[in-house]
Amino acid sequence: MKIIKSWEDGFDEALNRIVNRGRIGRADVEASVRNIINQVREKGDEAVIKFTKKFDNYHLSPENIKVSGEEIENAYASIDKKILEHLRFTAERIKKFHEHQVEKSWSYKEEGILLGQVIRPLAIAGVYAPGGKASYPSSVLMNVIPAKVAGVKKVVMCTPASAGRLNPYVLIAADIVGVDEIFCIGGAQAIAAMAYGTETIPKVDKIVGPGNVYVAEAKRMVFGDVDIDMVAGPSEILIIADKSARADFIAADLLSQAEHDELSYPLLITDSLDLATDVVKELDIQKKSLSRSEIIDNCLKNNCICFIVRNIEDGITLSNKIAPEHLELMIEDSDEMIDKVKNAGAIFLGKFTPEAVGDYAAGPNHVLPTGGTARFFSPLGVYDFVKRSSLISFNEKSLKDI
C-alpha cells in the first residue's frame, strides 16, 4: 500500500488517477463484442451455440439451452443444506429491505383537471449471473428480488457452464427467488440474446447483473435497444478512519476487495500516520492466510493507496471527489458525518459494519455504482424495474380556460 500525504508532491497526480479510474476503453474488446452482438442479432440460437462452444468449450443444442427442472432438482440434492438455509434467510432480508422502496401511482385534481403519475412494472427482465470462480448466488438474489418486488411478470436468467457444469448454488438461488427461465449461456452472447431475442431466449426490457469486461461492453452497446442497470467496473472500497479505528479491521476490509480482482481499488483515508503504518503491517500479516495471493499482491501494489489528510473533514471532501462504490466510516460519531457524504454507493457506519455484511446479508442491494459514477447513479432497487407514465385529463371548460 502506498502512503501519500495530501500536502506533498505526487498527491494531485495520485488523486487524479483514482478520480478518473474506469475511463479507459479497450478497442479490442469493443470490436470483438460488436461482432458477437451482430451475429446473435442475425443468426439467433445458431450464433449463441457457436460462441458458447468457442469461449466456454461447452456444446449446446437448441434443446438444452434452457435449464430443465430436473437440473434444478439435482442441484438441490448436491448442496450443503446449511448454505441453502442461509440463502433463504438472506433472501428474506433482501426482500424486506426492498419492499420499503415500492412506489405507488398518484394523482391530484384541480378544477376540471386531473394530473398524476402511473407507475407500472416492466414486463420482462433479464439477469446475468457469471459462472466459474465469479459465481455468486448472492448476486442472483440482489438482482432478481427487486424485480420481483416491483411486480415484473417474468424474469429470465443467463448463466454459463464452467467445465460443462452449472453452479448448483446459482441455480438454487434463482429458484428460491422465482426466476421463470434459466438459460445455459454466458458472455457477450448472452447479453445480445436477451437484448434482441432468439428462437429460444426471449427479448427483455432490461438487463441487470455483473460480468467481465466483455459482458460490461455488451451491456453498454445494447443500451438504448434495451435498458440496463449500469456498466460496472472493478470493485472498490474507501475507508475513512481516525485514530480510534482498528488497523486489523481496516486491513481485513481492504483485503476483501483486493482478493476480488487485481484491478480493484482498496483505498484508505486517515488523519493518523501511525494508523496507516499499522495497517500496512496488518496487510502483510493477513494476506499470508489468503489463497489468491498473486491477485492480492498485484492489487495492493498497483491500486491500494492511503491518503494522509490533515483532518477527517478534509477526508470527507476527498471522498466526495472519488465517489466510491463502498464507503466505510471508521471514525468516532460516524453517524454525524452522513450529511457531509455526497457521493457514495453504500455507506457503512462504525467499526462493526464491514463491507462484507452489506454484500451478503444486511438487506440493501450490493449492486452499486463504480468508477466514480456514484456522483449520479444509485444502487440497484425496485425503482429500476418500473416505468412512469404521466396522467393528464382536462374537461371542456378547463381546456378553454388554460
Give me the active site residues, please. 325-326
Contacts of 147 (CB under 8 A, 6+ apart): 122, 125, 127, 155, 208, 385
Q: Are strands 113-121 and 386-394 parallel, antiparallel or unpaired?
A: antiparallel
Could you give the CA distance from residue 402 to residue 398 in angstroms, rounded to a whole number? 6
Could you give the CA distance from residue 332 to residue 119 in angstroms, rounded to a whole number? 42
Please give the order of strands across the beta sheet that includes 113-121. 106-110, 113-121, 386-394
Residue 178 Cα to chain centre, angstroms: 20
Nearest-10 crossing angle of helices 27-43, 45-56:
140
Amino acid in the structure at residue 272: S
Sole residue written with cell 466459474: 132
- Say which DSSP state 203 is in: P
First to last CA, the chain: 65
Could you give the CA distance from residue 43 to residue 390 in angstroms, rounded to a whole number? 38
Could you give the CA distance from residue 80 to residue 252 in angstroms, rounded to a whole number? 27
Residue 252 Cα to chain centre, angstroms: 21
Is the separation of the CB atoms in 139 and 360 below 8 Å? no
Calculate the dihedral angle through the C-alpha atoms of 57, 58, 61, 66, rounding to the nearest 10 degrees: -140
